Structure 1
Amino acid sequence: MPGSTTSARLLSGLLIGAGVAHFVAPRQFDAMVPRSLPGSPRTWTHLSGLAEIAVGAAVAHPRTRGAGALAAAGLFTAVFPANVKMAYDWRHRPAPLRAAALARLPLQVPLVLWAARLHADGSAAGPRRAPLTRRHSAPSVK
Structure 2
Amino acid sequence: MKLPRDVAALVGIFAVSGVVHLVRPQVYEPLMPSWVPRHREVILGSGVAELACAAGLAVPASRRTAGWASAALLLGVFPGNVKMALDAQRSRRPGRRTTALKIGTLLRLPLQWPMIRAALRAARN
- Do the two structures share a fold, i.e. TM-score over 0.5? yes
Structure 1-normalised TM-score?
Answer: 0.77
Q: Distance in 2 between matches of 1:85 and 1:102?
A: 11
Distance 1:95 1:9 in 2: 31
Aligned partners of 2:13 and 2:64: how far apart in 1?
A: 17
Corresponding residue for residue 64 of structure 1: 62
User: Could you give the per-residue CA deviations for residues 60-92 of structure 1, whole angstroms, max 9, x where no partner exists?
Assistant: 111000110111111111100000110111112
| 1:3 Cα deviation from its structure 2 partner | 5.2
Shift of 1:22: 0.5
Please give the TM-score of this superposition, normalised by the length of structure 2: 0.86
For structure 1, the 5+ residue unaligned runs are 122-142
* Structure whose CA Rg is larger: 1
Aligned-residue CA RMSD in angstroms?
Answer: 1.5
Alignment length, in residue pairs?
Answer: 119
How far apart, in 1, do the equivalents of 2:9 and 2:110 lie?
Answer: 20
Partner AA of 1:80 in structure 2: F
Residue in 2 aligned with 1:81? 79
Q: Displacement of 1:56 after TM fit? A: 1.0
User: In 1, distance between residues paired with 2:37 and 2:23?
Assistant: 23
Sequence identity of aligned pairs in percent? 36
